[in-house]
């Protein structure tokens, strides 16, 4: 009889070890590699919609540099994690014009991700992005609290890159954030 109890105990122990291993693996993935994130505001419309569920790669900028066009998630000075598009990187000179155009180092950028019938106007200003920082903007320019108000974002506050939309299923797929 003790042999039967021992077999049951070993069986239960093996299941517990598998469950604990799976839990440790998924917690590790969540903490160090990928994080689910819900889009909180309309600032990235049309690229990302309010309540889209996305996957954020926490490893992305540990293995490659942040570059123009990347969709980043960062800890903001207003106490919220925000998603924005990188428009300029350190040492870039960005010029915003009252006609709605943006120039990086003297060259006008083409922003295909902004709605065509969108009326955008900026205050005429030129900014040089400091070392260790990036200049970010939402794709929905008239409804985005971004570097125009927050200032350039420290790379240390960036914790990942938006790589994939998983919900709603009608928007399921990879996010292309290139400029």
Do residue 103 and residue 164 come from a single domain?
yes
Domain-located, residue 21: yes
Do residue 145 and residue 88 come from a single domain?
yes
Please tell me the predicted confidence (pLDDT) of residue 177: 52
Q: pTM (2 decimals)?
A: 0.85
Do residue 120 and residue 48 come from a single domain?
yes
Do residue 9 and residue 86 come from a single domain?
no
What's the DSSP call for residue 55?
E
Please tell me the distance from the alpha carbon of residue 102 to that of residue 136, in angstroms, as a whole number: 12
**For the chain, how many structural domains are there in total?**
2
C-beta of residue 138 within 8 angstroms of C-beta of residue 76: no
Domain-located, residue 179: no
For residue 144, the enclosing domain spans 35-174
Do residue 27 and residue 73 come from a single domain?
no
The one catalytic residue in 43, 57, 147, 152 is 43
Do residue 138 and residue 115 come from a single domain?
yes
Domain-located, residue 85: yes
- Whether the per-residue pLDDT at 173 is higher than 70: the answer is yes
Q: Convert the pLDDT of each residue in 119-153 to its tens digit.
A: 887 889 999 999 999 999 999 998 999 999 999 99
43 is catalytic: yes
Do residue 80 and residue 158 come from a single domain?
yes
The one catalytic residue in 84, 133, 144, 152 is 84
The DSSP H or E segment spanning 5 is: helix 2-32
Do residue 100 and residue 164 come from a single domain?
yes
Which own/partner pairs from 166-171 qualify as long-range (CB within 8 Å, at least 24 positions apart)?
166/36, 166/53, 166/54, 166/55, 167/52, 167/53, 168/52, 168/53, 171/49, 171/52
**Dihedral sign of CA atoms 42, 47, 49, 53 in order:** negative
């Amino acid at each position: 009889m003790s042999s039967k109890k021992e077999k049951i105990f070993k069986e239960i122990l093996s299941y517990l070890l598998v469950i604990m291993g799976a839990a440790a693996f998924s917690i590790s993935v969540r903490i160090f590699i990928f994080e689910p994130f819900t889009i909180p505001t309309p600032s990235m419309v049309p690229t990302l919609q309010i309540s889209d569920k996305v996957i954020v790669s926490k490893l992305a900028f540990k293995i490659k540099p942040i570059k123009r066009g990347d969709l980043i998630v960062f800890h903001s000075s207003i106490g919220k994690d925000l998603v924005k598009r990188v428009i300029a990187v350190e040492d870039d000179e960005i010029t915003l014009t009252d006609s709605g155009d943006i120039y990086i180092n003297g060259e006008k950028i083409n922003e295909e991700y902004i709605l065509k019938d969108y009326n955008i106007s900026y205050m005429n200003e030129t900014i040089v992005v400091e070392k260790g920082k990036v200049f970010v903007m939402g794709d929905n320019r008239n409804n985005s609290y971004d570097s125009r108000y927050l200032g350039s974002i420290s790379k240390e506050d960036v914790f990942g890159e938006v790589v994939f939309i998983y919900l709603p299923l009608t928007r399921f797929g990879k996010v292309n954030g290139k400029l």
